[in-house]
Amino acid sequence: MNVPDLNFGDLLEAVATIDPERAAVIHGPNVLSWEALDVRSNRLARRLLAAGLETHSKVAFYLRNSPAYIELLTACAKGRLVHANVNYRYVADELFHVLDNSDAEAVVYDAEFRPHVDGLRSRLPRVRIYLEVRGPSAETADGIETATDFETACEAGDGSPLGNARSGEDLYFMYTGGTTGYPKGVMWQHRDRIAAVGITDAHSVAAHRQKVVTAGPGPTAMPACPLMHSTGFTTALATLINGGTLVLLPSRTFEPGECLREIERHRVARLAIVGDAFSVPILDYLAEHPDLHDLSSVSAITSAGAMWSEYCKRGLLEYFPNAVLSDSLGSSEGSRLGSSVTRQGETTATASFTVGDGVRVFTEDFREVQPGSGEAGMIAKAGALPLGYYKDEAGTAKTFPVIGGVRYSLAGDWCRIEADGTMTLLGRGNNCINTGGEKVYPEEVEEVLKRSPGIADAAVLGVPDPRWGQAVTAAVRTTGDRLLDESGVRRYLDAHLARYKHPKTIIRVDDPLRHENGKVNYRGVRRLLEQAEQ
């Protein structure tokens, strides 16, 4: 695949000059213009370099969604520094692992996370500078300055272009969590990620800038999901390098009413969510306030990273009259594995996708799965791919094998290829449950449970069992404060799912089952189930 040698920093610098006064980032009442983003990120990059960081030094982003995330990302791209995302829900060992494993030389964090950072300082000798993003009420502990103020770093100093030569081979990291073990840092080259988001027709920065000038600035887009995860990050990046405007939700957690108000207020054209985890609260809110908001500006709703049910898609189209729904199958290790597009008057089956370019499906011994065979296989993606996992040669060799002379990404997603050539997603192979010799994919069972009467959300995993090897076990959250009607749920399962896939045990829990990015928190769910058994 011919990948243009493009760099985030060069593209962002170029599009900033097209309409400098246009909004680049909107966050509640705060508006950051393209000119301000350009100048402030230049100052910030110089501050990081002055602290001793060099080309390819790592910068840890311990931040919620805010303009600071975008300013820091732009500064790192311009200064040839490596973005390393930190899940802001991590504490203690998980937090230390990412900061240590990434070899971070700078840690940039929201003031609310100061206690967690301060508790790790003595264990992070590589860190040269700490930058703290403070709100108006944030103060240093006991009046002692323990970090550089982020705002000062953006406001003071030389804001002119850095004038350095950058490369499409410059890196950014995307740390991705798993069901077991610590997060792994996926290493992406700028040029490969730019190609993966669809910019393959511009072979120079000047050509891309002229394309944006000719077509007009990109649309106003809202990633409702966290920027620290791949879906939000990629949405923000694609919006910005096309000269668009990014609208970030001001609240710390997702509030559907706020989301819809901001869409209406800023005439958002593209909304990025993560499957049913965002769709369900939006639909619940709209059911109570069906005529409160004008959502006609939304032309596209995109989702990636989690199941997006046909039921929720159909519901959203009732309230977003001009929207096309685009369901993308991908992961931090590889984008565009499959896609599904739904328009007004259409329906698409849950977990059914058109196979993406460069995608094949292999068995565990690398034999290609034939359409209509009913055989399950691993989704393999060729083309613009990451270099691998940072400091993990064994993991890299396993996830990015060479098959028949072609390098693929095998992130662990399993599917069937139907007779018509479409792909039916089964789930992550590392979550697959072996119960009595039968394979059960948790996502399939979860989707049926979520459609059961009275069930708001579900997570399914296998627990050790002396008879079955692993027993299919479900944790569910009920709608409102309803008690679990287990007999009713099991009647529903009887009508929609093979008996061997039924959970042996169904436990009602009150705690959330998902991360803020919408994906099931399987490790957390396992702890909930263990507590329920005690």
DSSP 246-272: EEE--SSS--HHHHHHHHHHHT--EEE
Instruction: Give the number of residues written for the chain.
Output: 534
Residue 33's pLDDT band (boundaries 50, 70, 90)? Answer: very high
Last residue of a domain, one of 253, 273, 301: 253
Domains in the chain, number: 3
First to last CA, the chain: 54
Q: What is the CATH number of the domain that holds 210?
A: 3.40.50.980
Last residue of a domain, one of 379, 410, 428: 428
Digit-coded pLDDT (tens) for 325-380:
999 998 899 988 999 999 999 888 888 999 999 999 999 999 999 999 999 999 99
Digit-coded pLDDT (tens) for 254-270:
999 999 999 999 999 99
Is the same domain home to 200 and 244? yes
> Where is 511: in which H helix or E strand?
none
Q: Which domain holds residue 505?
A: 432-533
Is the same domain home to 415 and 503? no
Q: Does residue 313 lie in a domain region? A: no
pTM above 0.75, yes or no: yes
Q: Does residue 367 lie in a domain region? A: yes
Q: Does residue 357 lie in a domain region? A: yes
Backbone angles phi, psi at 241, to 5 degrees: -75, -10
Digit-coded pLDDT (tens) for 38-48:
999 999 999 99
3-state secondary structure of 28: coil
Spatial distance between the Cα atoms of 153 and 132, rounded to a whole number of angstroms: 10
Q: Does residue 304 lie in a domain region? A: no
Digit-coded pLDDT (tens) for 44-100:
999 999 999 999 999 999 999 999 999 999 999 999 999 999 999 887 888 999 999
280 CB-near residues (< 8 Å, 6+ apart): 312, 456, 457
Q: Does residue 448 lie in a domain region? A: yes
Q: Which of 69-83, 471-485, 500-514 has the highest mean pLDDT?
A: 69-83
For the chain, the average pLDDT equals 92
Per DSSP bridges, beta strands 300-304 and 334-342 are unpaired
Residue 406's pLDDT band (boundaries 50, 70, 90)? Answer: very high
At 528 the pLDDT is 86
Least confident among 23-37, 221-235, 451-465 = 451-465
Digit-coded pLDDT (tens) for 217-268:
889 999 999 999 999 999 999 999 999 999 999 999 899 999 999 999 999 9
Is the same domain home to 424 and 436? no
Contact 5, 191 (CB under 8 A): yes
Residue 421 has pLDDT above 50, yes or no: yes
Residue 533 has pLDDT above 80, yes or no: no
Last residue of a domain, one of 253, 272, 289: 253
Is the same domain home to 97 and 221? yes
- Strands in 184-189's sheet, in edge-to-edge order, are 148-149, 129-133, 104-110, 58-62, 82-85, 171-176, 184-189, 388-389
Residue whose structure tokens are 């700028």: 190
- As beta bridge partners, residue 380 has 360
Q: Does residue 328 lie in a domain region? A: no
Q: Does residue 446 lie in a domain region? A: yes
